[in-house]
Amino acid sequence: MGDEACVQSVLRLVQEGQLSAVQDKFSGDLQLQSLAKKTHFGKSGDTLLHYACRSGHLDMLRFFVEEIGFDTELVNRDYKRALHEAASMGHVDCVRYLTARGAKIDSLKKADWTPLMMACAKKNLDVIKNLINHGANPALKNKDGWNCFHIACRDGDPSIVHYLIDTCPEVWKTKSNTSRTPLHTAAMHGCAEVVNILLDRCHFETDDRDSCGITPLMDALRNGHIGVSEVLMKKHQASFTASDNLGTKALQHAAVTGQDGVICYLVQRLGVNINEQVTDIQLTALHLAAKTDAPMMPFLAKDLQAVLKSLISCFMKREVLDNIKTPVQMLKIDVLDKTLHLPQKEVDLGFATKQALEKALEKLLEKPLPGQQFRRECVAFLSATAKKLLDKCPLNYAAVRHMACLDPVTMISDERCAISMFEKILQLLLNAKWHTAEDCDQILSE
């Protein structure tokens, strides 16, 4: 077997952790040892040392370094060293060995990632502690301007976030190349526990904006993280009415990303005006939702049903809501029937209303309206609004309801139901004389 083929066979043994077999291959063969130290495998250009660290074979790593004389600073085509591999894979024994041997602690791979950054991305606290104890610099940034704290906040491990703040109290004072803080990162990824830590232990400015004017609250809302949003509003006084550089607000961001739950939350709980016009060309949330290239009609019935159900859930009894399974059942509800309403003390006024009411009560010199009367008026308003929406709702049209057959979720989860609804759409087209019976048969078969 030629030397190159022999080195290739050694690679398989290294990956499998067969130290004895590897030792036998190298025993007394100085030419093979020399060739192995400079051989790079595959497109990535990894060495045997990279493979040993990636697989966590400490005994193999020790053999290569101490017996064969491998340089611990060998790099692949992405400039990754053995320490990068061990740190990214969470092999703490290999990391301890390499750092004890004096491996370069803050070596940079492609995109300027250090071993510490890679350890933070993999959420391995023991590896992180070892690297920092050997002098790793938490303040170093990669090509995007992220330091290891940004990465830890993105991946959401509270113990790592606490440790980095304990070790380097000012590590949080950092911004990326686009002026994004670690709070932006944690909020965007829905890391609620980390957001709480940042608000408790760090001192970020309220509604701190990135280069586009985006606040952490906007990030949370446009990614559907309502729980994180509530934390930011309550503990950080973040504003849900703030605008970015283009004048776009949280509601419009949620519309662009299709966050139906967030839209309901902003409109119903926080009192945001759904028809508010923003930006220089006065766009509404509906305009921005329509600008997305996603087809809306297949999802319209389900979304309308969700919005209406969310509205009436504020004042209707739970058993009424539990019986709503289809859009038709929704349309048949008599929202003005007071026997179906919740007891007034259980009516959900929403966060914004409660907050505004508390502030108003503090300022009123005269005795305010009794709470029961106020709640009665709220229920009257909600029921009247729901009645108008139900009367004018597109769900009243069979075509809108049956278009749900084109929803991929419906097609996969209930094929028979999807076909049935599609047949009803074809029947509507046939009745309207838009297609012949033969056309409908052809469409259905396809």
How many other C-beta atoms lie within 10 A of the C-beta of residue 438? 8
**HSE, side-chain direction, 13 A CA sphere, residue 108:** 9
The predicted-structure confidence for 267-304, as pLDDT tens digits, reads as follows 888 999 888 888 777 777 766 665 565 555 556 677 77
Residue 208: alpha-carbon gap to chain centroid: 20
Higher pLDDT, 399 or 388: 388
All residues at 6 or more sequence positions from 211 whose CB lies less than 8 Å from its CB, including other chains: 178, 179, 180
For 122-190, give the DSSP string: TT-HHHHHHHHHTT--TT---TTS--HHHHHHHHT-HHHHHHHHHH-TTTT----TT---HHHHHHHTT
Q: Torsion over CA of 265, 270, 271 and 276, rounded to 10 degrees? A: -70
Give the separation between CA 243 and CA 228, rounded to whole angstroms: 19
Q: Which residues pair with 249 in a beta bridge?
A: 243
Closest by CA position to 20, among listed 59, 53, 46, 55: 59
Give the separation between CA 334 and CA 389, rounded to whole angstroms: 12
pLDDT bin (cut points 50, 70, 90) of residue 118 is very high
Closest by CA position to 260, among listed 234, 231, 296: 296
pLDDT at position 1 is 46
* Token pair recorded at residue 176: 């990326």
Q: What domains can be seen in the chain, in order of their start residue?
A: 1-137 (1.25.40.20), 308-393 (no CATH), 397-446 (no CATH)
The predicted-structure confidence for 320-362, as pLDDT tens digits, reads as follows 888 888 888 888 889 898 888 888 878 887 777 777 767 766 6
Q: Is the pLDDT of residue 375 over 80?
A: no
How many other C-beta atoms lie within 10 A of the C-beta of residue 431? 9
Q: Is the pLDDT of residue 414 over 70?
A: yes
